[in-house]
Amino acid sequence: MARSALSRDEVLDTAAALVREHGPDALTMRRLAAELGTAVTSIYWHVGNRESLLDALVARTVADLGTIRPRGATPAERIVSVARALRRALRERPHLVAMVHERGLTERMFLPAQRALVHEAHAAGLRGARAAALVHAVQFQVVGHVLVERNRERAPAQPPAETDLWVTEPTGLPAPDPELARALAAPVDTEAVFLVAVRALVAGLLR
Amino acid sequence: MARSALSRDEVLDTAAALVREHGPDALTMRRLAAELGTAVTSIYWHVGNRESLLDALVARTVADLGTIRPRGATPAERIVSVARALRRALRERPHLVAMVHERGLTERMFLPAQRALVHEAHAAGLRGARAAALVHAVQFQVVGHVLVERNRERAPAQPPAETDLWVTEPTGLPAPDPELARALAAPVDTEAVFLVAVRALVAGLLR
DNA sequence: ACCTGAACACCGTTCAAGT
DNA sequence: ACCTGAACACCGTTCAAGT
């Protein structure tokens, strides 16, 4: 075969391409080796093992998430805009979330939004621990929401679900609030839930 | 070998025990078969495949989460108490979260808290779509937070992380808010973040 | 310093064959 | 209706051996 100069970077590039095009499950050491035209075992020399290969890919992908620029007139609006931008950035990279899912969450994933959030918390008049609390609460909120969204998408069939559980009360009597019953029976609009939650969270934190 | 009457329930029981004691990774068809004293292939007749085996286990575990009883004097306190109870229930069953992690999220996981939340939202004076929004927002908040917590726990070493990134500004100048810098440098107290976030969320939603 | 093939100890799933 | 063993097509990783 005699191919030349396999490098760590080449391994990472090819692995990244594999993940991008076929998802993280397609990233097997053997398939990667085939793609690279080397022996499986050569990869181990360059990246250690599959775990740290995924680590490196996650680090890489997070690194290119880029900076988030707040938009809006009021502090609350600007913080909400950061949350939305972070969610969008994460959702645009489903393989990143999938890799994180396999690998565990990196602190780094929170970073793109952190500087912006710190700045806006300060601008909103929060200081010290209270400002830090806002930063963490928003970060957890966004990342948590994205994880839930992703997990529901890969969920199995959802037969009984909330759907029929609330159209009628278990008593058989009509629900006391039919509009609420209808709203809970309908499929969840996760984007709307996100917006409501983030706005309420930020409003609550800035009180 | 000639063992008698393998039943779907016996398969599920043994699988559940395996997961409880050694985590979902230990649940391999071959190991399960060994534990049951049957041929690997017998399991397939009873449960189809590993996917639906996990499905069944998740459904089972969620079913025994039980009902959540709100506590507290004000509506806000009572809603927060539901959120805390749901988080605790989920955290007490780490294998459930791990299985969901492998399998995808079931609607059912949201259910234990739902009746209680509906009731409290109503008691707080919310009706129709606004009440539904509160229910969904709180459910997503809690489940999302638990997923984040679990993901961070299984995370790899976190070398640079937030830790050193905020003790000094990138400019080299001292941070404008040293107390904030310190708070961000310290390891995150996820329970505290949860409480702050849930309280703020509920306050924001009830405004 | 880098690459190789062979081997080890696993997986989930299918299928024809048994009772 | 239920169970079996054999076989297929995979995995990640280790290791002694090569250059």
List residues with CB under 7 Å of strand C: A 1, 3, 5-6, 38-42, 45-46; B 27-31, 40-41, 44, 49-51
CA angle B27–B29–B32, rounded 5-degree value: 65
Q: Which tens digit of pLDDT belongs to each residue from A151-172? A: 998 876 655 544 445 544 555 5
Q: Where does A8-48 sit in CATH, by number?
A: 1.10.10.60
- Closest of B60, B56, B25, B62 to residue B43, by C-alpha: B56
User: Testing the interface with B: which of A99, A107, A179 to mutate, by most B Cβ within 10 A?
Assistant: A107
Confidence of residue A75 (pLDDT cuts 50, 70, 90): very high
What is the model's pLDDT at position B32?
98
Selecting from 1.10.1240, 2.40.128, 1.10.357, 1.10.3470, what CATH number does the domain B68-156+172-206 have? Answer: 1.10.357
Stretches in chain B below the pLDDT threshold 50: 1-2, 161-164, 167-168
Q: Which tens digit of pLDDT belongs to each residue from A125-143? A: 999 999 999 999 999 999 9
Residues A141/A196, Cβ–Cβ less than 8 Å: no
Cβ contacts of A176 on chain B, cutoff 8 Å:
122
Provide mean pLDDT across the span A62-70. 91
What is the model's pLDDT at position B168?
45
Say yes or no for a CB contact (<8 Å) between A104 and B151: yes
Please tell me the pTM assigned to this model: 0.92
Any idea where the domains of chain B sit in the sequence? 8-48, 68-156+172-206
Cβ contacts of A192 on chain B, cutoff 8 Å:
133
CA angle A64–A66–A71, rounded 5-degree value: 155
Option in A103, A161, A197 nearest B107 (CB): A161
| Burial grade of A31 (CB within 10 A; 0-12, 13-18, 19 or more) | middle
What is the model's pLDDT at position A173?
53
The rounded radius of gyration (Å) of the Cα atoms in chain A is 22
Q: Which of A25-39, A43-57, B166-180 has the lowest mean pLDDT?
A: B166-180
What is the model's pLDDT at position B149?
96
List residues with CB under 7 Å of strand D: A 27-31, 40-41, 44, 49-51; B 1-3, 5-6, 38-42, 45-46
What is the model's pLDDT at position B158?
59
Tokens matching residue A187: 């499929």
Q: Which position has the higher pLDDT, A206 or A158?
A: A206
Domains B8-48 and B68-156+172-206 share a fold: no
**Mean pLDDT across chain A, nearest whole number?**
90
Closest-lying nucleotide for A42 based on CA to C1': C3
